[in-house]
Chains A and B, each alone.
Chain A
Amino acid sequence: DVKVTQSSRYLVKRTGEKVFLECVQDMDHENMFWYRQDPGLGLRLIYFSYDVKMKEKGDIPEGYSVSREKKERFSLILESASTNQTSMYLCASSLPDGSLMTQYFGPGTRLLVL
């Protein structure tokens, strides 16, 4: 079974803090993704990575950065957290050719920025 784990299920941070969300997958997948999920908006892609040290912006990259130093790990960084970044963050991974490959999701991190 593919397993995607996220470092925290719940996180509370203050405005202006630097926040790290970690994601690890154990299936040697090339592609990894970060989404945010908000009621009524569905899933929106923040960043994705198709290889180590490679990254591509998604639909809403502003205020976020990512890091992929190892194949199995993909980190999402909020350089200076703001209240409008309060959301559920979902990490996913897939084999190459992500357009037709199943994405495997982690359980999510619910982030509250005060």
Chain B
Amino acid sequence: AQSVTQLDSQVPVFEEAPVELRCNYSSSVSVYLFWYVQYPNQGLQLLLKYLSGSTLVESINGFEAEFNKSQTSFHLRKPSVHISDTAEYFCAVSEGSGGYQKVTFGTGTKLQVIP
């Protein structure tokens, strides 16, 4: 069975500093990986996803994540955060083995950007 681990429940970081939000998964088959973001009082929205091809994926607002199969990780990074990045970030995984495969979400990491 697949699972997702986000070890950091909260990450405080100063504005304009770099940040890394960690995500590790376990699965015995090939996977699809996602990062979703939830701004205060809103639902989740997709930030970026890895399906296949290049292991480095980017979002339109400067985040990037790298799929590392050997370390079973999909960490999210941004070189310089902004106040508006304050939100909760969820890593998610699904197994691409045909038919409907459930998406499993991590427990979330709250990013607190400090002015």
| A interface residues with partner B (beta carbon < 8 Å) | 4, 31, 35, 40-45, 48, 50, 56, 58, 90, 92, 97-100, 102-108
Contact in complex: B44, A98 (CB < 8 Å): no
A-B contact count (CB 8 A): 62
Q: Given the complex, which residues of B lie within 8 Å of A48, measured CB to CB? A: 102
Interface string of B25-49 (1 = CB under 8 A from A): 0000000101010000111111001
Please determine whether A98 and B43 come into contact, CB atoms closer than 8 angstroms.
no
Chain B, Cβ-Cβ closest to A110: B41
Q: Is the Cβ of B100 less than 8 Å from the Cβ of A105?
A: no
Question: Closest B-chain residue to A103, C-beta based?
Answer: B103
Asked if B107 CB lies within 8 Å of chain A CBs, one says: yes
> Which residues does chain A contribute within 8 Å of B32, judged by CB atoms?
99-100
A-B contact pairs, 17 of them (CB 8 A): A50-B100, A90-B44, A92-B43, A97-B100, A98-B94, A99-B32, A99-B94, A100-B32, A100-B49, A100-B94, A103-B103, A105-B36, A105-B45, A106-B43, A107-B42, A107-B43, A108-B43
